Chain A
């Protein structure tokens, strides 16, 4: 979180109207989040007399975020800034898939199968993955986790698939 990767893409697009796309779109998305929060809190009752209702604070902060988002977007429009950085989809995709797979399988399949599966899926996140290494390290790690979490730390986790239990 310390270093920002600058200049991931070239900024030679001809005659850009938006001077700082990174900030411009960042601000727009924040505004979207704020609007979504305003909508989500719209059914909550507001201030009643001089006491806050449950909806008051969410509305205050969502409106604040809307303003700040607008400010950031406008500054991105007017002030020369960074271009949009390149997204690496491979890592994003496989890491997310591995997490989702873990969430989906931990209950029915148990820790042993689930963590091994996620390990393999996550490994695909880089083109450098090789099968032999992944299986060996994944196996050792799975074994380690199966010993550490339920036994070492006393957490209640199911180890095996539910059919075998």
Chain B
């Protein structure tokens, strides 16, 4: 316990420096700003804004990126209440009841409850990270190459099982991502692999390049399919009376608590992260509610629970990243990309060698949440006005912004072309119902998996059976296999789909 407090104190010491506070604030604001824009999801926001952090020192860059992340998360829910446009996937369910509340003239309390729930969840999650960080890191340090490889397999299986859609297709996307990660120089021998003597490919495909293509450009092209005019049902009346009533608070408090717990657990598990957390929390509330009919007609718990859950999950998903070095979802994969650019390889070593970096970031999360609570509620009016920016002007701006961003990473026009190419790939993938998130995960985990697989087999002298004879590794693989089998059972499959279907009708 003293450890936890000492670590947090160290973190707050770092985070409370003037520059870092500033960066946290700017990150949260810019994240909200972009997150609010319709048709730009959380992942796209983080991918788009990644390059603006390149010039900063590592701690500052990570603090700002984390700020951007939960800012975007927050922006997404802000717009889903007064305007029926969820800015990102996680707030789709918030829109169900939030928008109904707004129609009844209760947008203020809905927004306030969402903010309070998010803040509470954020506090709990921050503490949870601090609490679990150190022991998990110690645990991770006893892992050898064999265990690490099995752990990654388990992580990926989790990601596939919790994701939406076909298992086979999700696995294919992971493998595709791993394959993409192998382009460029081989780590051990230096041999150039699948690079066709293109100098820009010698160092491998840039992570930011692929992410920007598959998430940024592809999403724009997809949105344009429906024509640029998205239908927007704006609630015109002014948002007045932010404060929820005593009854609202009393109703929401247990929901916030349940949402936080559910979100924290689902966030740590690799896979869905924030998105699945909010879906699950909503479904859960509806199931245990005494008045399930109220859901979809402006039930305040229908806002409180998913919002707390998605914020809790957004933050606890940092736990596997910081302690084990394994990103549990696509946004965390982007964080790995950003860290690598700053020369940091996330994992147990970072926690030990650069504690100020990790704890500074964790502390800044709490500060960032507080800032969002204070800044965003009064600024809701401005955010909503942003939604009136027509998409026909918005999307060319995003194209330019992304292009400049990619170009500035290496000052390389080829990177911009590659991102454009991946935009087309991403568009094609979407048309065939392939999810791009597992691809990104595969691409980040690819080099790690290959390295550990190679090392494990080298140590075992080429004997593949080590993965099942090492007890820890065998246990991890056993869990992975069990999960796969379970998720294929028709009963559970139906349940899983139900959770996602909730939003669509």
Contacts and interface: CB of A to CB of B under 8 A. Distances in A.
Interface of A: 1-5, 22-23, 25-26, 29-30, 33-34, 37, 40-41, 44-45, 49-55, 57-58, 61-62, 64-65, 68-69, 71-72, 75, 82, 84-88, 90-92, 95-96, 98-100, 102-104, 106-107, 111, 115, 118-120, 122-123, 125-129, 133-134, 137-138, 141-142, 145, 149, 153-157
B178 A61 contact: yes
A99 B172 contact: no
B225 interface: yes
Interface string B206-217: 000000000101
Contact of B420 (A49, A87, A100, A129): A100
B286 interface: no
In which size bucket is the chain B interface? Answer: 35 or more
Given A1-B430, A44-B191, A58-B182, A96 B420 contact: yes
Given A103-B420, A133-B393, 18 more contacts: A3-B503, A26-B433, A34-B179, A44-B193, A50-B458, A50-B461, A58-B182, A65-B175, A68-B168, A72-B172, A86-B225, A91-B220, A100-B420, A122-B399, A125-B228, A145-B404, A156-B411, A157-B408
A164 to B, nearest CB: 19
A96 B424 contact: yes
A99 B461 contact: no
A93 to B, nearest CB: 9
B158 interface: no
Contacts of A5: 225-226
B17 interface: no
21 contacts: A1-B430, A1-B436, A22-B433, A29-B428, A40-B194, A52-B454, A54-B186, A54-B189, A58-B193, A61-B175, A72-B168, A95-B423, A99-B403, A100-B417, A106-B407, A106-B413, A122-B399, A129-B392, A142-B400, A155-B55, A156-B411
A14 to B, nearest CB: 23
Contacts of B463: 50
Interface of B: 41, 43, 51-52, 54-55, 89, 92, 164-166, 168-169, 171-172, 175-176, 178-179, 182, 186, 188-189, 191, 193-194, 196, 215, 217, 219-221, 223-229, 275, 391-393, 395-397, 399-401, 403-404, 407-408, 411, 413-414, 416-417, 419-420, 423-424, 427-428, 430-437, 450, 453-454, 457-458, 461-463, 503-504
Contacts of A65: 172, 175-176, 179
